Amino acid sequence: MDQISALLKRAMPFQTVPEDLLREIVKIAKWRSYSRGDLIYNVDDEAEDIHIVSSGSVSHALRPEAGSPELLERVMRPGDVFGWAAVFEGQRRRLAKTISLERSEVLQINGEQLMRLIRRMPAAGDVIMSRLATMITKEFAATPAVAARVPHLQVATEPAPQQGSGVASGWALTTFRIAQWLKSPSPYLMVIGFGVFLGLWYLTVEVWQLPRFADMPGLTVVVKEMFSEQPTYGLSVYTPEYYQHIWASIRRVAIAFLLATGLGVPLGLFMGWSKTFREYVFPVFETLRPIPILAWVPLAILMFSGSETPVIFLTFLASFFATALNTMLGVESIDESYSRAAYCLGASKWQVFREVIVPGAMPYIFTGLQISIGVAWFSLVAGEMVSGEFGLGYVINTSYTMVRYPTIVIGMVTLGAVGYVTSALVRMVGDQMMQWRVRELALGGR
Amino acid sequence: MNAVLENLRSRRMPNIATQGAIRIDDVVKIYDPDGAAVMAVDHCSLDIPAGEICMIVGPSGCGKTTLLNAIAGFHSITSGSISMDGQLLCGPGKPKAEPGSDRIVVFQNGALFPWKTNLENVAFGPLMQGKLGKKEIYEKARSMMADAGLSGTEDNFPGEVSSGLRRRVEIVRALMNDPKVLLFDEPYRALDSLTKSVMHEALLEIYYKNKVTIFFITHDLEEAIFLGHRLVIMTSRPCKPKKILEVDIPHPRDYSVLTSPRFRELMEETSAVVHEEAKKSFAAGEKEG
């Protein structure tokens, strides 16, 4: 009994099944074992049972559509579900040929009986079915037409998850991925990593008071100061100044980043696309690029009045170079056969630029933008330390001169957090704009 | 010449293309990297009648792709001329042909745009040329994909389907433009032999339904004999026809042809010639491509 429910909980479609339904399913499941080379079922056999591998392995050759001579082969391992044609609407015929590759234990659930159970509890049942459909499209690479044959129970309270292109909306997949992530060691390793880092900080500064660390602000001091309603040095998460500084920095980075993207992407595209343009511009570009941002400070102050524009200019500069260079490399990375194919298909030069060059360079452009937002923060702080009246860099610099050491660390921690969020935002926008890439990578770059 | 053409036509099943005859006349191509002139194509002449499947066989790096690129309009030629249906594509005074949708290349590594869905890829040609309304184009694209057994994959990106399916989508994308000639640059090179055999039958099926001339580059002799009306075996670089062979196995063909005695005979007849050229090419250390 326990073994069956444990196995079901490992199988993707059944993972979120409530206990009562699970118990019912356990009752109708039965074990079967196969020896090496046994045919479990063949294409067009009557589909009665849905199968879950418990041990061993099974070869699964799927015919993606009727009459298609091609077979998609996969090896099913413990926890994998196959034989889902047993719950299809309409004719239940096998779409695949499955052969046991070694001695394998397989759990079988009769499709008819399973559907009867599920109809009794449509809310939970529909989750199973939509997860099954997701699994079929994502893991078996079957056509959406196949997945669409998984029965969909009409549950009034829930929106249909299988609408649109038929490629599963991904909600089931997202929760599945989060569950998988929590099961994997990575979140715990992350916690341990942070723990070791913070622990070392605490020990070296406050407990052991090692020579070089003795004057540093300690972990507990910083945390107390940061979350104190009456901070000793005047800055904590409860003071409005804290948010003014954050806002000032974010505003500068946002303006500089948008300007850098707006100018850097087109410049990079044209440098990559037109050899002549590149010969004019690239040498100048490459001469200016290695000049450190700090070296620009005097000129920036001379050129722009006030304290705001020089800082924005400095931030812009670093971002601009990173974006333009990566965009240019992106254009160069595009396989020539794409533009050749486009010319063959009757595209004009401008159409090739719009339809091939721009989308083809997109992955590199977004890599560039991630670097760009990083260096934007980097040069922002440099700029704010030199000129400026607000901002996190300003906080760090003035806290140093005014001997408010814990506040320095508050500024640094805040910079790290805000910087992390902004680059995550850039990554999310990139994923949104390049669905093709996300889906390709999800399949392991097949 | 006409008698030969008539002979070829009568064997062609079941449609007879009237357009897409390619004449390659004394073409020479010399590459000149760093002053060291390399002759890739040496006084090559070849007549391909409309509707023929002409298989160009030669060792890797012999210069057959150069010839294809000249027809497609990607590269210039040094001398000679290439014409289609009597119209000059490139020749004296016009070293490079204009690429156009009457001659479409199916590339070695596939060139479906990975950022467009399969349907958008198929619709690309007509959309760019602005020939029809958007709605009609997508309708036509859908129905052509359905004919080629590609229903259900319209909204997938090319990266999400198998390489065999991708090749089929690419051919359908070409056919959307009613091309006169399809130029294949070893398109099945990277496929395993099982998928390959499936692709061959699918290609023949498409050919029987559409009026096109096929110029097909390969180094796979079995593929060449199975598909072609005619084999043109090329010398290793510089490239020119060494032996031209009529494949007298009637179309339509299916995979049973592979085990027929005549197929074996033709394999024997040609493999020695091909092997000899491959050895020369290997000895010269030519780079692939």
Q: What is the dihedral of CA A429, A432, A434, A436, to 10 degrees?
A: 160
pLDDT at A43: 83
**Which position has the higher pLDDT, A445 or A240?**
A240
pLDDT classification of A66: cutoffs 50, 70, 90? low
Whole-number average pLDDT of chain A: 85
- Of the listed ranges A54-63, A249-258, B260-269, the one predicted with least confidence: A54-63
Nearest by CB to residue B114, choosing from A72, A167, A440, is A440
CA A400, A403, A409: angle at the middle one, nearest 5? 55
Task: Output the pLDDT for position A306.
Answer: 82
Among A47-61, A250-264, A372-386, B27-41, where is mean pLDDT lowest?
A: B27-41
What whole-number distance in Å separates Cα of residue B162 and Cα of residue B98?
33
Would the CB atoms of A340 and B109 count as touching at under 8 Å?
A: no
Q: Looking at the predicted structure, is the pLDDT value of residue A218 above 70?
A: yes
Task: State the 10-residue block means of pLDDT for chain B, 289 residues long.
Answer: 48 61 88 75 88 87 84 90 89 87 88 94 93 90 88 88 86 91 87 81 85 89 90 83 85 83 87 81 64
Pick from A282, A281, A317: which is nearest to A296 by CA? A317
Domain ranges within chain B, ordered by starting residue: 2-102+180-189+207-249+278-284
Higher pLDDT, residue A71 or A345 = A345
Q: What pLDDT does A88 receive? A: 82
CA of B176: which chain A residue's CA is closest? A345
Closest CB to B157: pick one of A65, A68, A440.
Answer: A440
**A434 in B contact zone (CB under 8 Å):** yes
B135 — phi, psi (to 5°)? -65, -45
* 3-class state of residue A64 by DSSP: coil
In chain A, which among 64-83 make CB contacts under 8 A with chain B? 65, 67-70, 72
User: What is the structure's pLDDT at A117?
Assistant: 82
Give the distance from residue B249's alpha carbon to the nearest chain A alpha carbon, in angstroms.
24
Q: What kind of fold does domain B2-102+180-189+207-249+278-284 have according to CATH? A: Rossmann fold (3.40.50)
- Using one digit for the tens of pLDDT, what is the confidence trace for A312-336? 999 999 999 999 999 999 999 999 9
User: What letter would DSSP give residue A93?
Assistant: B
Inform me whether the pLDDT recorded for A258 exceeds 90.
yes
3-class DSSP state for residue B41? strand
CB contact under 8 A, A351 and B128: yes
Rounded Cα–Cα distance for residues B58 and B218 (Å) = 7
Minimum mean pLDDT among A53-62, A71-80, A99-108, A340-349: which range?
A: A71-80
What's the gap in Å between the CA of B278 and the closest CA on chain A?
26
Mutation to test the A interface, candidates B74, B109, B115, B153, most A Cβ within 10 Å: B115
Maximum Cα–Cα distance for chain B, whole Å?
A: 55
The residue whose two tokens read 């913070």 is A198
Q: Report how far residue A329's alpha carbon sits from residue A331's, in angstroms, rounded to the nearest whole number.
A: 5
Across A131-138, average pLDDT = 78
**How many Å apart are CA A139 and CA A131, to the nearest integer?**
11
Q: What's the pLDDT score for residue A182?
A: 85
Residue A444 is predicted with a pLDDT of: 54
HSE, side-chain direction, 13 A CA sphere, residue A132: 30
Cα–Cα distance, B285 to B274 (Å, whole number): 16
For every residue of A237-279, DSSP letters joined together read TTSHHHHHHHHHHHHHHHHHHHHHHHHHHHHHHHHHH-HHHHH
Of A70-79, A226-235, B50-59, B74-83, minimum mean pLDDT range: A70-79
Q: Considering only residues B193 and A52, tell me which one the structure prediction assigns the higher pLDDT.
A: A52
Which tokens hold the place of A427? 């990554």
| Domains annotated on chain A, with CATH | 2-167 (2.60.120.10), 226-442 (1.10.3720.10)
Residues in chain A closer than 8 A to B124 (CB atoms): 342, 345, 347, 355
Nearest residue in A to B108, CA atom: A337
Q: Which residue is it, tokens 């033709």? A: B266
A169–B contact, CB cutoff 8 A: no
Tell me which range, A157-166, A198-207, B58-67, B196-205, is most confidently predicted by mean pLDDT. Answer: A198-207
Q: Residue range A84-90: average pLDDT?
A: 81
Q: What does the pLDDT read at residue A67? A: 62
Which chain A residues are closer than 8 Å to B125 by Cβ? 345-346
pTM: 0.69
Q: pLDDT of A32-45, one tens digit each?
A: 888 888 888 888 88
Q: Does A145 touch chain B (CB under 8 A)?
A: yes
- Find which of B160, B183, B185, B188 to mutate to test the A interface (most A CBs within 10 Å of its CB): B160
Instruction: Tell me which chain B residues have a C-beta less than 8 angstroms from the C-beta of A143.
Output: 151-153, 156
